[in-house]
Each structure stands twice: as C-alpha cells, then as structure tokens.
Chain A
C-alpha cells in the first residue's frame, strides 16, 4: 500500500481529531503481528518501555525551559490595583461596625470574622473544622459527660485521628508530634470562670506577647478562648473611647472586672521595652 506523499502537517491540520477517529476505525485494519521471539545473538534489541529517573539529563532541557519561565513570570494577584470601589457600606452582622469600600475587603472580613462564628458564644474561628471542634467541646453537655469516660478531645490537625482525655493532653500531642507552637492561638483551653483569671495578664505588655492590642485585651477578658476575637469596634478611630462599651456588654458577662492596667481604643500605646538584636 503506497501513500501519496504529502506533508503530514498539511494533512493533519485540516483534519479534526474526532473525524479522524471515524476514519481510523473504518479504514485501517491492524497489520498482522508475529509472536514475539527473543533476540538472536549478537543482536540484543527487545522492545521495552523506557523510564528515566527524575534527575536524568533526558529531562534537562524541559526542566530548564520551565524554570526560565518560572523566573520570569510576575504575579497572579487578582486585580488588586483595580478593585472596583463602591460607596461605603457597613457589615451587616449585628454588633460589627466595620466599614468597607470594596467588595473584596468586605468578603475577606466576613470570611475571617463571621463565617465560622459560633452561634452560642459569638466567637469566630478561621475554619469550619475549628468551629466544629469548639462547639463540641464548649457547648455540648453530652461531650463533658462522655469525656469523663473516654478520650474525646480530638487532635486539631486534619488527618490525625488521635483523641485525648483532656485539652492539655491534646496540646502536648500537638506540640510533641505535630511540632505546633506551644502558644498556638487556636488551642486555648476552656477555663472555669473565676475571678483569678485577670492574673493571666502579664505584668507589662512586651514583645513576648503576640501582638494585636485590642484583641489581646479582649481575649484576656474572655479567658483564653480558642478563637479569633471580634473586637473590631475597638479599633475604629472614629469612635470615642467610651463608645465600645455597648459592644462589650456581652463580653462583660464573661469576666469579673476589667483590670486597671487595660485601656481601650485609640491612644493605647504598647511599645517595646527593648528590642534586642538576635545574635
């Protein structure tokens, strides 16, 4: 069977691949195959599927091409500089007075603060997983009962099925096995409400305390809760210092009194006492 010589490029550019499959089925019978026999010396060829290890120089040109490309590309930031601005609007969640002028910033705010919010105590969490764990451990009375008999405190790391009999044991596990920081912000144990809690306050706020002024104070008010504190109203510079009192009403339910070393709102200065260079 002879084939009319034509440039393969021309032939196949014109063909649509789906059409080609029809052609293939109808017109091209399989050529008959001989059973495989071993090679005859001194010849040694035998068909085999090739494999190269990943550092093989076979891949060098392709890898280099890819990295040249990687080093040249810029960004894929979704239109940060041209976010459409709208007229200012407020967050709709009750008690949150944050104001926005772009949809993206509102969306981020909402996702950070309100999406995974506990409906019992209004605390926010960075993910649904942590929220679920919180609800179970803080608001489920059955949990407390069962926890007395069996290990109920689930490891926070996704994919780890370990359970523990106490929050402390879980934390030890997180630190030892999963190499989490010992002050991981989203694993603070639920404490019994008592008047001694204000001693949680360090004598002075210095660099060893994770920074976020009003969030810290709010959290100390709420007794080392395992969540992101929704205290944005404290941040707004337009509010008078005494303004946030109403949004604190709810939070005041959880504490004895505000220690005198705390002050709210604008003007609170938390400086470093010293900044030493690391050797």
Chain B
C-alpha cells in the first residue's frame, strides 16, 4: 500500500485549527468536483520531499521555477553529449516540478521532441531522467501541459513491455495521469493499444508494476465514456465464471480476521472497493446469465466486524456494508437466518439511529428478513424489533417511516401476536402523527385495521410448518 507521507511540521508554525480548516476546504472542493463529475486525482512519483513549514499538504520543492532563458539553456545543454548533460537534465526535472516552468517548457518549440529523444535514448540513466521529466509534466494541473505529452504515448506504451521495473512503473503512472486528463488523450491511447499493453503487464511478478497497472486502469475507468468505450472490454459473466466472487469473499474474510491483530489505518480504503465489487456483482442482471449466489455465512460475521470497527471514524463504510448486506439478504434465506441465529440483530438495531441512509438500509434488511416468513418474524419479535420500531415512528423522515410501515405490515402478516403487542405498547398512538401524510396515510390506515383485528379471526395463516417450505440442502 502506498504510505501516507510522514509530515514533518514545524509545530510553532501552524495551528491545529488552521489545519482543520484547510482540510475542510479540501474536502468541500472535492465534493464540489464530484458533483460536477470532475473528481480527478493524479499521482506523483517523486524522490523524497519534505512538507514545508506551514504544514501544507503539498510538496516542498527544493528549487525555484526556471525562467524561459534558463529552460532554453538547459535544453541546449542536454543535447550535448557530455557528462554535464545528466546534471542539466536533473536541473530541468527539478524545475519542471513547478507549474510555471512546465508551461514555459511546453511553449518552446521543439522542447518535447528533445525530451522524447532523450526518453528513447540508449543510455539508461538519461532515459530514466527524461522519463521523470515526462512524469512531472503528466502530473500538471494545467491540461495544456499534460496534453503536450501526447507525442510520447506510443513510447510510454512500448516501454511497458520492457524489463526495467523502475522505468515500467514510471511509465505506468505517467500513462495513468495522462489517461485521466481528457477525452483527447484517451482517444489516442486506446487506438494505440493501451489495453492489450496493460494486459501483458499483468504477467509481471513485480508488485510495483502491478500497483501501477491498477492505477492506470482505475484512471481509465473514471472516464465518462468508459461505459461504452472501455468497459465493454470487461465481461462480468466471464469474471463470475472464473470464480471472482469467492476470491473477493475470501479476501474480505482475511481482512476481517486480521483486523484485531494489526493496525487498521487505511484498511477501509481496501475494504471499500471490494464491498462495492461484490454488491455490484450481486446486483448483476440475471438475464446476463450470471446470477451470483453467495452462501458463506462467515461473510456476515466479517461485515458486522467491519461495521462495528469503523462506525465511529468511517461511517461511509458502514453504509456500504449495509448495502452489501441488503444484496445478500434479499434472496438468500441463509443470511437472514444467520443474522437471527448468530445474535447479530442487536448490532443491526443499534445502527438504526445513525443516519437517514443507514436507517433506511437497516429497515430494508429487516424487511428482507421478515419477508422470509413466520419463523423469521417470530425471531425478530423475540429479539425486540418492536421497541426499536416504535422509537423510529417518532421520527419525521417520510422514507424512513414508509419503510418502517412496510416492516410492520410484514410482521403483522406473519405473526398476529406482534400486532397485539404493538397495540399494547402504544403503537397506534405512534402511528397517529403520520396519518395525514399523503405518502403514508393509506398504509397507516391499513396497519391500524390489521392491528385492531383479533388474532383468531385474521386471514393470516398460522405460523405452523404446513406453510413453510424447507429449503433443499
């Protein structure tokens, strides 16, 4: 995993409050970018850097930007076949860490040709240094700068199948930065064969290469046109038939069992995409021929471990775990049963008070469970779901209330005595406050009617085994 930079702050230079304020700004800028569907982050490989004194989450650059004259001079120097060439190139690279220098560089005619010439040099260290220059350019926030790297892409791709790990890694991150820049860039990269080239790199035994490969792919997939131009290269049914589901499940189990032993900082960054993957695969259209079924109840325990562990610091992960839980419990009685028999219900009910989305998801999961029949409703009732529901009914969010009404309906349907207990716990009064809401009134009325009917004359089947179907093993 990539490690967070160790910040060496001068403690007197910045207050904690200002740090927090900066972080909030950064966060709100990211949220805004995401809403505009422009959430893009590039990665930078650089040798060591220090955080400058004011604790800025940026990288301090050791030297100043270069003037146009200086860039010109360096470009002349790097064309001389001398030992000085390496130093000039290094100096150029340092300068290219600055946006102004980058912009000056790309505006000079012929500069990119020179750089590419050096990049394709037979001298390994010249090549490496030129590659680092290209990488700095690719990381630029100025699109004109990164697009100026377009002439280099065929070479970047060629070197992916070379054997120098360091160069390959650098090429991968450079390509990843370029790929996310604009449609223009991708319209060149795809015909140039970036995807087959990446496929070959998967064979690499080097972790650094594999990480870089993951980076390029993830950046390519961010593209707006990805669903039509890039993802068709991916075939979910094929993935499923290759056993991806069990691999992902095992990964989650491993992560969960390792959680108590090791430090878990950053673990949520790894768990999150796996959760999303599984949930998406589970939600795959059946007509595509790959209905996914998971039957390993240990996954359930793993999910609850994650939720308990991350609730305080990373509630987003709890939300996404609940999403997976919904997709697991919707169709599989195994998971519904396990929630009840493993005593996981209290933990689930605790999540009811957290956020609107979490409450909705928990209620949906409870509905999934209740829908399975009388035996399930019986357990829910025994394990105190009614008091939890009664306190939910005091809220005002329409969606939340609507879902709780659905749950109550299912409970009363399969378990008449639940209705009686509901009434005796002042449930009818709790329903009152919602009776005039147009989206809720019909259901409120129906529930009142049901709960006021004595259990003996209800049209509901008694919860005996005759109505139940034992699943095949």
Partner-B contacts on A (CB < 8 A): 1-6, 8-9, 11-13, 15-18, 20-21, 24, 28-36, 40, 42-52, 55, 58-78, 80-81, 104-105, 107-109, 111-113, 115-116, 124, 126-130, 157-160, 177-181, 184-186, 207-215, 228-232, 234-235, 237, 265-266, 268-272, 275-278
Q: Which residues of B contact A111 (CB under 8 A)?
A: 124, 162-164, 167
Known contacts A17-B301, A47-B330, A211-B79; is-contact A33 B31 (Cβ 8 Å)? no
Q: Which residues of B contact A80 (CB under 8 A)?
A: 47-48
Enumerate 25 A-B pairs (CB-CB under 8 Å) in ascending A order: A8-B343, A8-B347, A11-B343, A31-B376, A32-B375, A47-B367, A50-B279, A58-B319, A60-B31, A67-B39, A67-B41, A68-B23, A69-B266, A72-B4, A75-B44, A76-B45, A78-B166, A81-B48, A112-B122, A127-B162, A158-B200, A211-B113, A212-B122, A232-B123, A266-B82
**B195 contacts partner chain A, Cβ-Cβ < 8 Å:** yes
Binary contact readout B1-19 vs A (1 if CB under 8 angstroms, 0 otherwise): 0111100000000000000
Binary contact readout B189-201 vs A (1 if CB under 8 angstroms, 0 otherwise): 0011101110110
Q: Chain B residue with minimal CB distance to A70?
A: B41
Known contacts A207-B110, A211-B118, A215-B121; is-contact A158 B161 (Cβ 8 Å)? yes
Q: Are A32 and B343 in contact (CB under 8 A)?
A: no
**B462 contacts partner chain A, Cβ-Cβ < 8 Å:** no
Which residue from B79, B126, B317, B469 sits with its C-beta under 8 Å from A35? B469
Q: Which residues of A contact B4 (CB under 8 A)?
A: 69, 72-74
Q: Are A185 and B155 in contact (CB under 8 A)?
A: yes
Q: Which residues of B contact A232 (CB under 8 A)?
A: 122-123
Complex Cα gap A112–B323 (Å): 49
Known contacts A108-B124, A157-B193; is-contact A33 B471 (Cβ 8 Å)? yes
**B374 contacts partner chain A, Cβ-Cβ < 8 Å:** yes
Known contacts A43-B409, A67-B30; is-contact A12 B305 (Cβ 8 Å)? yes
Q: Which residues of A contact B298 (CB under 8 A)?
A: 17, 20-21, 24
Minimum-distance CB pairs A-B, first 5: A159-B196, A34-B373, A211-B117, A207-B110, A61-B316
Q: Chain B residue with minimal CB distance to A238?
A: B83
Q: Which residues of B contact A43 (CB under 8 A)?
A: 405-406, 409, 443, 446
**B399 contacts partner chain A, Cβ-Cβ < 8 Å:** no
Cβ of A187 to closest chain B Cβ, rounded Å = 10
Q: Are B83 and A73 in contact (CB under 8 A)?
A: no
From B93-101, B240-248, B332-340, B419-427, the one touching the partner chain is B332-340
Q: Are B379 and A31 in contact (CB under 8 A)?
A: yes
Q: Are B192 and A179 in contact (CB under 8 A)?
A: yes
Q: Are A266 and B81 in contact (CB under 8 A)?
A: yes
**B269 contacts partner chain A, Cβ-Cβ < 8 Å:** yes
Cβ of A176 to closest chain B Cβ, rounded Å = 10
Complex Cα gap A181–B150 (Å): 10
Known contacts A108-B167, A215-B121; is-contact A17 B256 (Cβ 8 Å)? yes
Known contacts A51-B280, A215-B121; is-contact A30 B192 (Cβ 8 Å)? no
Known contacts A47-B368, A67-B39, A228-B120; is-contact A8 B344 (Cβ 8 Å)? yes
Complex Cα gap A46–B72 (Å): 69
Q: Are A212 and B117 in contact (CB under 8 A)?
A: yes
Q: Are A55 and B45 in contact (CB under 8 A)?
A: no
**B262 contacts partner chain A, Cβ-Cβ < 8 Å:** no
Q: Chain A residue with minimal CB distance to B320?
A: A62
Which residue from A63, A71, A126, A160 sits with its C-beta under 8 Å from B34? A63
Indicate the member of B45, B199, B342, B470 with the most A CB atoms within 10 Å: B342
